[in-house]
Structure 1
Amino acid sequence: MAEISNELIYEVLKAVQARLAQVDGKVDENKSDMMALRSQMTAVHHDLLSIHQELGGVHATLIRHEQRLDRIERRLELSEAPSLV
């Protein structure tokens, strides 16, 4: 069996330390990527909320126009439904 010396242990520990530094670098890289993704997701979420609110406004406008057209049709007696009068 090979003799284990302090120098051999030191060399192995240096190699382990170098690998650990690489892993730390990759972890930091992944953290920054995740932070970037999180901010992008937040931006998309805000965009979707804006779109939802805008669609709600369009829907409300369409409802008002439909009600107005119904009133106009009733006044001009253009509605297809039979009048009760």
Structure 2
Amino acid sequence: MADVTNDVIYELLKKMQSDIAGLKFEMSGVKIELSNLRGTMVSVQMDLHNIYTRLDRSDQRLERIENRLELRELAEAQSRFEPQP
């Protein structure tokens, strides 16, 4: 069996320390990327919310226009005079 000396243990601990330092560095990069991804998701959610708000306003405006022009009543009146198959 190989003799385990303090020098061997010291070299092994140095290697482990450098490996752990590398992992810490890579983990900080992952944290930054995750933070960027969260920011992107928040901006996409805000964009979707703005789109839905604009669509809702357009729908309300269209209903007001239809009511003002009385298109619904005219369409019902017109359908009485059209031949039915």
Pick the TM interval, shorter chain.
0.7 to 0.9
Aligned residue identity for 1:39: I
Indicate the structure whose relative CO is greater, using CA pairs within 8 Å and at least 6 residues apart: 1
Aligned-partner Cα distance in 2 for 1:34–1:20: 21
Name the count of aligned residue pairs.
Answer: 72
Query: Could you state the TM-score of these two structures normalised by the residue count of structure 1?
Result: 0.77
In the TM superposition, structure 1's runs of 4+ consecutive aligned residues that sit over 6 Å from their partners are none
> 1:36: which partner in 2?
29
Where do 5+ consecutive residues of structure 2 fail to align? 77-85
Q: Deviations over 1:23-79 (max 9, x none)?
A: 001100110111000000000000001111111111110011000000011111123
Aligned residue identity for 1:58: I
Mapped pair 1:72 → 2:55: no
Percent sequence identity over aligned pairs? 25
Q: Secondary structure at the match of 1:35?
A: helix
What is the Cα-based RMSD across aligned positions, in Å?
A: 1.7
